[in-house]
Amino acid sequence: MPHPHPLVKLHPADLITAYIHTPSTLSPFHFALPGRHWRAVHLAYNRKDGRVVKLVTVLGSPRKRGNTAAVLEAFERLALENQHTVERINAVDCAVRGCLGCDACFEVLDEPGCAQDDDDAVWILKRILAADLVVYATPVYAWGFTAQLKPLIDRHYCLVKWQGDGVASALMAGKRAALLATCGGDAAGNADLLEEAFRRLLDYAQCQPAGIYVLDNCSARPIGPCADSEALARRMARELLG
């Protein structure tokens, strides 16, 4: 089933203005499209040097205005200001069921081929496959991914095609992927299991690890833009986008 919401293209200057002038309590994507619900917004730029990074971000937080979103939005703003393209997917707005482990996906080598084609997972995975860089963003819940993001992570299983004892095709092979995580306590003993799970996911999918970024000791109350979140966003932009 095709995704019910087409991607919306906006003039890039309008969205940058929205990022700069939107109050911290509002999402820039919602500000740019008032009164409408969209799962993704795609913005096109033309860089003079031709080095455009097609970026897909996946926000796994159940709070679209929480701590994780604050850092991610700051990073997205920097990407847009440097004339890259950004597409955001909010997992909380998507319907993704868990993997059934049926292995039907192995029968198709050049696309996800998942038997569950009536939810949003295949649509999201195709957007990820089309990207140059994917950033998965999640708060740490029970030492791992959120419940909103974990089913999508599990559905990445269909991107590695096993035939007999070997891998016939890995659809994400060589793709750059990064993790952004926030947590309430110290990163050590809190986010370390999530970091290891992410590394193993990338190893399984044959992705190119682009970075793991953790903002720890966040309060339960959303921090909004602050020195720590902005500093981490700048570091991500510098290291991931060049």
pLDDT profile of the chain (242 residues), mean per 10? 42 41 38 34 49 92 92 94 92 94 91 91 94 97 97 95 88 96 92 97 96 89 70 96 90
Residue 226 confidence (pLDDT): 63
Residue 168 confidence (pLDDT): 85
Residue 195 confidence (pLDDT): 97
pTM: 0.82
Residue 51 confidence (pLDDT): 78
Residue 40 confidence (pLDDT): 39
Residue 7 confidence (pLDDT): 42
Domain ranges of the chain: 8-241
Would you identify the CATH topology of the domain 8-241?
Answer: Rossmann fold (3.40.50)
Residue 27 confidence (pLDDT): 44
Cβ distance 86 to 80 under 8 Å?
yes
